């Protein structure tokens, strides 16, 4: 008798998991069917090529895509007109998928394998047109799965503007928009398929403005006080400081205004600084010392100084529980194979980067799983990762070997290569979100790891303070 009950239970269990697998397969099939439509959406955003906080058309298109699928839209969140949240379902668990859609100034480029400007103000050199679209596609597929499998919970798409230097997500985190989220998923376009632990540098940036007194530089220099002297004195001090800061810290600056003519003592000068390091607290300390150098420079040159915080992000907090899950799903999804036409295009792109032929194997394969990564750049996903357990990946949307922020990245992003690569991410995010909704023990484990890594006494400090979103930083 007991055997019979056991057998019946086993059959029920198998039938259920088979049904769950069928539902997942159907959802992936549906994603495949819609891939052309998603490709068109990405192409539209690629053509809009809107810069940070100016992404009106891109944001509106993604909002429409989500609302047509039954998502409720909250727009203009965190005081940012182009930020929005699209939501489906109710209650816990709440899974967030992040999407970006801002373009980069100076990178206008046609979808051809040689440098050819499309004569636009900007171009999608970081592939955010794919980023936003594939994340939206994943959120929709997860919604379809929730419906088909009658699963409770909430799926949200976060429309996140101005990642490139605008720190858009930091304002969204600061406003508490992630406080009730259980897990956040993201991805990024790239030159390979990888879901290893990510890393990013914490970063704080500001424009230091010096004010002096203008005078004829030859006839009455004693009456003048040079704002440019203020900038130069500050830079000299900061450059000396480099020897006395923790290793691996980065400080960069550009002089954004240095006067107009040598025979006029400049009454205004401005220098734009970035400080970066793998740990937020080190960045806070270095940035404080930079402001001290600015104050000292103003004092010594008889000028005055103020500064405006422009950006500030945390480093990325990894979560290996989630990362391993995402890697396994990416492995199931697999990379992309190029058509003859795509091979011709990618060979030509590869030639411009000094390679004979495109490395097709890298586009097809998945990079081995690694639990540690080196940080080179910064991202505002860092702030999300210190608020909720967060996991990300990259897929080969560019010809292997292509660096981000290059015309080659813009070009591939405007072809079928970019759109195929983006669907690898859409599928992997979908499978990962489904796993989390279907097995909430994974969420519990990810949260335990998150709390341990963040540390018991962690307090969130928005690195850009209480400044309002810098909505005009690209105008």
Which residues of the chain form contacts with Zn ion (CB under 5 A)?
126
Closer by beta carbon to Zn ion, 126 or else 286: 126
Angle at the Cα of 136 (from 425 to 65), degrees rounded to 5? Answer: 145
Q: Which residues pair with 273 in a beta bridge?
A: 206, 253
- Rg of the chain over Cα atoms, rounded to whole angstroms, equals 25
Closer by beta carbon to Zn ion, 126 or else 425: 126
Segment (H or E) for 319: none
Q: Least distance in Å: CB of 9 to Zn ion?
A: 49
Closer by beta carbon to Zn ion, 126 or else 227: 126
- Closest among 404, 409, 413 to 379, alpha carbons compared: 404
Q: Which residues pair with 157 in a beta bridge?
A: 86, 97
Closer by beta carbon to Zn ion, 165 or else 469: 165
Q: How far apart are CA 137 and CA 28, in angstroms?
A: 11
Q: Least distance in Å: CB of 169 to Zn ion?
A: 12
Q: Least distance in Å: CB of 10 to Zn ion?
A: 48
Q: Least distance in Å: CB of 126 to Zn ion?
A: 3
Q: Least distance in Å: CB of 102 to Zn ion?
A: 8
Closer by beta carbon to Zn ion, 126 or else 173: 126
- Closest among 157, 141, 136 to 23, alpha carbons compared: 141
Which residues, at least 6 apart from 142, have a Cβ–Cβ distance to it below 8 Å? 27, 95, 97, 155, 430, 433, 434, 437
Q: Least distance in Å: CB of 40 to Zn ion?
A: 22
Closer by beta carbon to Zn ion, 249 or else 404: 404
Cα dihedral sign, 38-43-46-50: negative
- Closest among 449, 433, 448 to 183, alpha carbons compared: 433
**Position with the least CB separation from Zn ion:** 126
């Amino acid at each position: 008798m007991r055997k019979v009950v056991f057998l019946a239970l086993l059959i029920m269990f198998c039938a259920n998991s088979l049904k769950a697998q069928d539902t997942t397969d159907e959802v992936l099939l549906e994603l495949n069917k819609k891939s052309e439509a998603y490709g068109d959406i990405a192409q539209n955003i690629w053509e809009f090529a809107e810069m940070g906080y100016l992404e009106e058309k891109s944001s509106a298109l993604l909002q429409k895509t989500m609302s047509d699928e039954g998502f409720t839209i909250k727009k203009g969140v965190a005081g940012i007109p182009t930020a929005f949240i699209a939501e489906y379902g109710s209650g816990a668990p709440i899974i967030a998928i992040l999407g970006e859609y801002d373009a980069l100034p100076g990178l206008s480029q046609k979808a051809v394998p040689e440098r050819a400007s499309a004569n636009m103000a900007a171009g999608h050199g970081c592939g955010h047109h794919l980023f936003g679209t594939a994340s939206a596609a994943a959120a929709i597929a997860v919604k379809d799965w929730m419906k088909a499998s009658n699963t409770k919970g909430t799926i949200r798409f976060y429309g996140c503007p101005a990642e490139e230097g605008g720190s858009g997500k930091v304002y969204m985190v600061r406003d508490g928009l992630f406080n009730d989220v259980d897990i956040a998923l993201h991805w990024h376009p790239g030159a390979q398929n990888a879901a290893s632990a990510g890393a990013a540098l914490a970063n704080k940036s500001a424009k230091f403005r010096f004010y002096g007194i203008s005078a004829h530089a030859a006839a009455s220099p004693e009456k003048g006080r040079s704002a440019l002297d203020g900038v130069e004195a500050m830079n000299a001090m900061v450059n000396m400081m480099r020897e006395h800061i923790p290793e691996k810290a980065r400080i960069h600056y550009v002089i954004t205004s240095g006067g107009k003519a040598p025979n006029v003592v400049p009454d205004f000068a401005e220098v734009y600084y970035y400080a970066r390091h793998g740990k937020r607290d080190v960045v806070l300390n270095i940035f404080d010392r930079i402001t001290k150098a600015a104050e000292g420079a103003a004092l010594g040159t008889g000028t005055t100084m103020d500064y405006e915080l422009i950006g500030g992000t945390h480093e990325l907090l990894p979560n290996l529980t989630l990362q391993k899950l995402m890697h396994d799903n990416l492995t199931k999804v697999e990379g992309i194979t190029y058509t003859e036409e795509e091979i011709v295009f990618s060979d030509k792109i590869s030639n411009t980067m000094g390679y004979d032929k495109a490395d097709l194997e890298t586009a097809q394969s998945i990079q081995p799983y690694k639990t540690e990564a080196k940080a080179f750049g910064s991202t505002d996903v860092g702030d999300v990762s210190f608020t909720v357990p967060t996991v990300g990946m990259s897929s080969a949307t560019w010809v292997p070997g292509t660096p981000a922020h290059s015309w080659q990245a813009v070009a591939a992003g405007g072809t079928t290569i970019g759109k195929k690569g983006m669907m690898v991410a859409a599928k992997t995010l979908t499978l990962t979100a489904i796993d989390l909704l279907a097995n909430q023990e994974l969420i519990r484990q990810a949260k335990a790891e998150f709390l341990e890594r963040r540390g018991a006494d962690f307090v969130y400090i928005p690195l850009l303070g209480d400044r309002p979103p810098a909505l005009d930083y690209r105008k």
